[in-house]
Structure 1
Amino acid sequence: MCGGTLETLKALKRLQEHCKVVIFVTNTTSESRSALLEKVQSLGLSVSEDCIFSSLSAAADLVRTRKRRPFLLLKDAAKEEFPDLIQTEKIPLDSPLPTEGDRLDTVVVGLAPQYFSEEFQTAALRILLKEDAQLIAVHKGRTYQAKDGLHIGPGALVSGLEFSTGKKAEVVGKPSRAFFDAAILRAEAVMKQRFGDSDEREGGGPESSLAVDRKRVVMIGDDARDDVKGAIAAGLNGLLVRTGKYREGEEKRAGLLNENGQPLTGFLGTAENFSAAVDCLLLGHT
């Protein structure tokens, strides 16, 4: 979190009091929602599990909606995001190599280096050569940072499978529009659960719609391309913070500012940290 834990907690509380719903979005592929929730709550943040939405959640929702049988090239902790599929479809947690008789029809790739071997790549290839098979990439990162430095990311495996099978991967993480579309659907579901079929806040009656107006949604993030520009491309607004991944000049490099320094439509600017971003938003609403 940005700008110090206590400052962030206060800012988040202000934001939650003002907004109908606050959704936390992330591109992580190594942990399930429940694991992320535990981390967030350990910081003292008041957040429910349904308000955490990751690229892993998006992949699981996609597989579930399409009623696919996936071969999960994911870390064991990440597979916890697929509990119903594992139970009903008898998909083992330890992701062994599929047998010839398996009815798997989809390959889901995340950050799981232990499954980047030729053996598992070949198994994924053979599934994808089926006529109706689908390739889903939780994200397509080129590298990832480990304690000993940079390592090759899941994007290399995804690109290799695309090249060998002729099938295009469906990338569900940020900055894809599909990710932000799914996050909006999650926000609508949370609002319906909280307020019923109509919005009872601020005098809302039965005629009040819980459909999210994208022009009133703001993505706050430290990644100019994946967070902010991705959100803007999906019809949302974006607010950048100078913490975490941010580096000076990211606004221009990501195309959020033109040569004259004018902001891209939907880009609300850059704040020093999360607390400052919340101040900016709330002042803008008054």
Structure 2
Amino acid sequence: MSRVFRHWLLDLDGVVYVGDAPLPGAPEAVETLRRRGCRVRFLTNDPLPTRAAAAARLERYGIPAEAKDMVTSGWATARTLRGRGLERVAVIGSDGLREEIAAAGLALVSDDSAEALVVGCDDGIGYADLRLGVRLLHRGAAFVATNADAVFPTPEGPAPATGAIVAALRYASGREAEVIGKPSPAMFEAALEGAPREAAVMVGDTPATDIAGARRAGIAAVLVAADGASPGLPPELRPDRVVRGLAELLADG
């Protein structure tokens, strides 16, 4: 497949690494793609880190990466808001998300002057944040979510993710959030940077975000599944190919 596709979009957790370690063969697969002249971009719905921090994590796993190689939902959200001419933004989320918003030239505020409310995820989110968010939404601020993932995995079990925070704000305000992360087209447009759709492929482990997003973006999709199968998926979530990992995907040349 690497001889056909020149633009590769790789999900991180579950494709490149799991927990605190790279998946077997992942660093070598990325190196192979680059050696063949392919452009590789890494996509994550995780809104906590900056692009620089996400790249540094790959470096620790033996995968050379720079901030420009990373497409996080936080960065894509900042990019989208800047493109719409918004200037004042309130953030419920991590310091990394705030850094990305500020780096896009947007003013971080926590009062009624906010034109948009951006919601991410962070252990420090509390009731005061929810009160601020509900107030801003009732006053008409745009409601933007970095992603809609309900939970994320931890060693102790699933933990509430951005989608859980968004759900609380939606229930209290009666407003629906615009979601920027996968499967939203905004995330894929940021990653493709004008690359021809027929030359691009998304590799991910979650049909509802990775495969659905690829289908909406009009690009090929590969699902990484431990058993190498994807039974019972509806057409909009069905990948072009199923593999057990990146190493298997590139084994056929």
**What TM-score comes out, normalization by structure 1 length?**
0.72
Query: Which residue in the other structure is 1:127 paired with?
Result: 136
Instruction: Quote the residue 1:219 is aligned against.
Output: 202
- How far apart are 1:147 and its partner, in Å? 4.2
Residues 229/73 of structure 1: CA separation in 2 closer, same or farther (3 Å cut)? same
Note the residue ranges of structure 2 that are not aligned, 5 or more in a row. Answer: 1-15
1:277 CA drift (Å): 1.3
Q: 5+ unaligned residues in a row in structure 1: which ranges?
A: 93-97, 189-211, 258-262
> What does residue 152 of structure 2 align with?
144
Q: Is the 8 A contact 1:158 1:169 kept in 2?
A: yes
Query: How much has 1:114 moved relative to structure 2?
Result: 2.3
C-alpha distance in structure 2 between counterparts of 1:176 and 1:85, whole Å? 20
Larger relative helix fraction: 1
Q: Report sequence identity in percent.
A: 24
1:16 to 34, 53, 76: 34
Matched, 1:41 2:41: no
Cα distance in 2 for residues equivalent to 1:2 and 1:65 = 32
* Structure with the greater alpha carbon radius of gyration: 1
Larger strand share, 1 or 2? 2
> CA shift at 1:19, angstroms?
4.1
**Aligned partner letter, 1:112:** D
Q: CA deviation at 1:2?
A: 6.1
Matched, 1:273 2:240: no
Partner in structure 1 of residue 185 of structure 2: 177
Q: Distance in 1 between matches of 2:97 and 2:171?
A: 26
Q: What is the CA-CA distance between 1:135 and the residue it aligns to?
A: 0.6
User: Structure 1 residue 114 and structure 2 residue 115: aligned?
Assistant: no
What SS does the corresponding residue of 1:136 show, helix, strand or coil? strand
Aligned partner of residue 80 in structure 2, secondary structure:
helix
Aligned to 1:236: 219
What does residue 166 of structure 2 align with? Answer: 158
Q: Over aligned residue pairs, what C-alpha RMSD do you find?
A: 2.7
Distance across 2 between alignment mates of 1:81 and 1:218: 26
CA separation in 2, counterparts of 1:48 and 1:277?
Answer: 24
**Cα displacement (A) at 1:171:** 0.4
Instruction: Give the number of aligned pairs.
Output: 234
Quote the offset at 1:248 in angstroms: 6.8
Code of the aligned partner of 1:109: V
Distance 1:270 1:147 in 2: 27
Q: Residues 274 and 150 (structure 1 numbering): CA distance in 2 closer, same or farther, change over 3 Å?
A: same
Amino acid of the residue matched to residue 84 of structure 1? A
